[in-house]
Chain A
Amino acid sequence: MRTPVGLGSSSGPEQDIRRPSEPPAGRSGPRRRAPLLGMRGRRALLPWVLLAPALTVIGLLLLFPLGRIVWLSFREYRLRNLVSGESEFIGFANYTALLTDPYLWRIAMVNTVVFAAVAVLTTIVVGTLVALLLATLRPVPRVIVVSCIMVAWAMPAVSGTYVWIWIFDVDNGVVAQALGSLGLVDPSGHNWFADRLFFYAIVTLNIVHGGFPFVAVTILAGLLTVPRELHEAARIDGAGAWKRFWHVTFPVLRPVFAVVTVLSTIWDFKVFAQIYLMPGGDVGGSRMLNLGVWSYVRSFGHNDYGLGSAIAVLLTLLLLVITVFYLRALFREDEIG
């Protein structure tokens, strides 16, 4: 909604720059008009001008809310403050309360980190396997398979989650009936949503199902750039499929894997709808919440927006740290290699 404002304000200077830079491309000569800025100045300015629209959008839609969350996390902010708009600075009180809450360490943090680790690993492995399969297919079957997996990707999180809940419905779900008819579960049924492991197993299925197509397609794009000669040489040297993947494909595609891993990590840390909509995923004291849902429940259930924001800040910091460490490790390996 605010995008047009940002775009509009930056279109002016952009045009000013583009006009004088056109003539040198066609013909350079003494008749050139006096430039608005020196050559060097223009060179330095150009990237910023080109970045301006994106930065404006990011600033309005990301940095402002982020700053607002940080600000909120240092204040006592409840329903009353929401109405009056006034609030009190309380220093690190929200953070102290958060970090000394056993729920953070026993439930929310464990759920978030363990789930994200498992989900990222599974997504990458499944995505890679599908990409390897796709790379061996002829063009027509490949288009068909890619279209099929794209359907999974295109499914909105909310509808996808309801489908999984329906599949695992305790009384009438497909899984319950299949297991029941095989005699594997008690005929009276089993409420898997109440079991933390089962609950997160279903969430993992949901997330991997929604996340692997992106990984598969991205890695497929990378796979197609790996020179054939490398594989042929490895095969002549007697390398099996695994060795060829691990010693040839993987090193070449390391940057691609880095990107999909970082992105998947970020997505899987902040999973929301897929947990909140599950039975038991929205109960305040439930053992099923992750940091994102907990932040929401604290904010809107308790009407404690300060503490809710503190949880959100913690989640953001956690993600920043993981991303920075990961990228550093990656670049160090590159330098050695």
Chain B
Amino acid sequence: MARRRTHEYVPLPAAAAAAALVLTATACGTGGGDTSDTDSLLVWIMQGTNPDETGFFEAANTAFTDETGVEVEVEFVPWQDAQNKISTAIAGGTTPDVAELGNTFTPGFADAGALHDLSGYGVDTSQYIPGLMEMGQIGEGVYGVPWYASIRSVVYRSDLFEEHGLEVPEDWDGLRETALALSEAEEDMIAFPVPGDAQYSVMPWIWGGGGEIAVEGPDGTWTSQVDSEGSRAGIGFFTDLALEDGTSTTGAVNWNEIAVMEAVAEEEAAMAILGSANPKAILEANPDLEGRLGSFTLPGREGGYMPSFAGGSLLSVFEGTGDEEAAWQYVQHLTGDEFAMRWAEETGFFPGVASGVDEFSASADPVLEPFAVQLQEASRGVPVTPAWTQVEAEKVLVGMQQSILNGEATVDEATEEAANEIERILNGG
């Protein structure tokens, strides 16, 4: 029997997905058969800003099949489609057995009852990075375990810094001056893109200015501080780099993180906020940049570090597939020592197990060191509530950032609107 392992995922047209929804909306909860009968597993892995992963999964799946006799088929799902694809799969009863879920998605799907509670398997939750682990826990239940962490810092062109005698900036003013100097010295390049469609590049400025995205009051009501004085100062500083100082480009309003990464890979941008897996993907796309990339932690307003969004993924097991037990074995297989470390080395993401972060950053590429510092010293998460997924799906922060960059709203107007919208969604409006 031929083994099928890695398949490219072909995005479904939205219309077909919607038709699938209406045709089979009540057909969930298939299976429920005997777990020992499992002979194959379907696994969804996210795809986008990370390097090519097919080789890793070929090795990991062969090892798993040798060990357990269970075949594994991996499908890659682009990040942008992930949420819709999982929703339609739930509706159609075609969920995978295991899926990589972005940490911000997990509470929403767990709360809806789509994910299998893993607490019965005796998971030791204390070994994982706490900020990631808490996204997988609701009450006593465990709905996913951290697989890897990713953090955003600044990636820059070390060769250009050297050529123009620039130093790594240590505070906001320094960052601004460096960006200005770069745009003067490299006229054809974008010194520091300010993307409109990349919410995780905006969040640091909210925190860095002293604000919070949203805080929960004692009565359970959420209050957004996106329109606080501190948040406005941060967002204003970031957007002014584009609007006043011209270190970005008009087209960046429509850029997401992938577009920012491509701009660096194509040697169009000299410095950008990027994730820890990006340097590797950039070198894959443009090997000429080997040895010409560096990174630094996001500088604080008056020095020190500015908090950055700690993203990452959890591996979750779907409820009602009938293969939950084998699926959990596969999750343990991927998060276990051997393959977790190998994944980190191949991608540049940090392992989801806390002890692995130290081990990995000690051995890793020097370009990743500032990312490790950022993860351990200055990382933050989004508000932990199932409703947060909707804030992301509705692109509230993206809408805010784009209307400022497009000059349709002032920082004050846009942040006030975003804060109201966040409060409305988080408070179940």
Residues of chain A touching chain B, judged by Cβ–Cβ distance below 8 Å, are 61, 64-65, 68-69, 72, 78-80, 82-85, 158, 169-172, 188-191, 193-194, 272-273, 276, 279-280, 282-286, 296-297, 299-303, 305
Chain B residue, CB-CB nearest to A286: B399
* B326 CB-CB contact with A under 8 Å: no
A303 near B254: Cβ-Cβ < 8 Å:
no
A300 near B83: Cβ-Cβ < 8 Å:
yes
Chain A residue, CB-CB nearest to B25: A68
Contacts A284-B393, A301-B393 known; A79 to B251 CB distance under 8 Å?
no
Chain B residue, CB-CB nearest to A61: B19
B394 near A83: Cβ-Cβ < 8 Å:
no
B264 nearest CB across to chain A (Å) = 15
| Docked pose: A301 CA to B23 CA in angstroms | 20
For B403-420 the 0/1 string (1 means CB < 8 A from A) is 001101000000001000
The residue from A85, A194, A272, A285 contacting B26, defined by CB atoms under 8 A apart: A85
The residue from B19, B197, B254, B398 contacting A65, defined by CB atoms under 8 A apart: B19
* B90 CB-CB contact with A under 8 Å: yes
Contacts A68-B22, A285-B394 known; A170 to B90 CB distance under 8 Å?
no
Contacts A69-B22, A300-B393, A302-B390 known; A283 to B15 CB distance under 8 Å?
no
Contacts A79-B109, A170-B254 known; A303 to B390 CB distance under 8 Å?
yes
B249 near A189: Cβ-Cβ < 8 Å:
yes
Q: Which residues of A contact B94 (CB under 8 A)?
A: none
Residues of chain B touching chain A, judged by Cβ–Cβ distance below 8 Å, are 13-15, 18-19, 21-23, 25-26, 28-29, 83-84, 87, 90-91, 108-109, 111-114, 197, 246, 249-251, 253-254, 319, 389-390, 393-396, 398-399, 402, 405-406, 408, 417, 421
Q: Which residues of A contact B26 (CB under 8 A)?
A: 85
Chain A residue, CB-CB nearest to B390: A302
B396 near A284: Cβ-Cβ < 8 Å:
yes
| Docked pose: A63 CA to B399 CA in angstroms | 37
B15 near A83: Cβ-Cβ < 8 Å:
no
A297 near B23: Cβ-Cβ < 8 Å:
no
B97 nearest CB across to chain A (Å) = 16
Contacts A72-B22, A82-B25 known; A171 to B399 CB distance under 8 Å?
no
Chain A residue, CB-CB nearest to B113: A83
Chain A residue, CB-CB nearest to B114: A83
A286 nearest CB across to chain B (Å) = 6
| Docked pose: A77 CA to B13 CA in angstroms | 23
B139 nearest CB across to chain A (Å) = 16
Contacts A80-B113, A191-B406, A296-B18 known; A65 to B23 CB distance under 8 Å?
yes
Chain A residue, CB-CB nearest to B425: A302
| Docked pose: A191 CA to B195 CA in angstroms | 13
| Docked pose: A68 CA to B399 CA in angstroms | 32
Contacts A80-B111, A300-B84 known; A273 to B13 CB distance under 8 Å?
yes
B113 near A65: Cβ-Cβ < 8 Å:
no
Q: Which residues of A contact B396 (CB under 8 A)?
A: 284-285
| Docked pose: A61 CA to B18 CA in angstroms | 12
Chain A residue, CB-CB nearest to B27: A85
B398 near A169: Cβ-Cβ < 8 Å:
no
The residue from A61, A78, A84, A169 contacting B251, defined by CB atoms under 8 A apart: A169
Q: Which residues of A contact B84 (CB under 8 A)?
A: 300
A191 near B395: Cβ-Cβ < 8 Å:
no
A276 near B14: Cβ-Cβ < 8 Å:
yes
| Docked pose: A296 CA to B13 CA in angstroms | 12
B28 near A85: Cβ-Cβ < 8 Å:
yes
Contacts A171-B249, A284-B395, A284-B399 known; A85 to B421 CB distance under 8 Å?
no
A282 near B395: Cβ-Cβ < 8 Å:
yes
A171 near B250: Cβ-Cβ < 8 Å:
yes
The residue from A84, A189, A273 contacting B113, defined by CB atoms under 8 A apart: A84
Q: Which of B18, B29, B389 has the most CB of A within 10 A?
A: B18
19 further contact pairs, Cβ within 8 A, besides A79-B87, A301-B395? A64-B22, A65-B23, A68-B22, A68-B23, A82-B25, A82-B90, A83-B90, A170-B250, A171-B251, A188-B246, A189-B250, A193-B254, A279-B197, A284-B393, A284-B394, A286-B399, A300-B84, A300-B393, A302-B390
Q: Which residues of B contact A69 (CB under 8 A)?
A: 22
B196 nearest CB across to chain A (Å) = 8
Contacts A64-B23, A189-B249 known; A273 to B87 CB distance under 8 Å?
no
| Docked pose: A264 CA to B48 CA in angstroms | 37
B150 nearest CB across to chain A (Å) = 23
B253 near A194: Cβ-Cβ < 8 Å:
yes
| Docked pose: A190 CA to B109 CA in angstroms | 40
B108 near A79: Cβ-Cβ < 8 Å:
yes
Q: Which residues of A contact B87 (CB under 8 A)?
A: 79, 82, 300, 303
B398 near A283: Cβ-Cβ < 8 Å:
yes
Q: Which of A68, A82, A272, A305 has the most CB of B within 10 A?
A: A82
B91 near A194: Cβ-Cβ < 8 Å:
no
Q: Which residues of B contact A301 (CB under 8 A)?
A: 390, 393-395
| Docked pose: A172 CA to B114 CA in angstroms | 44
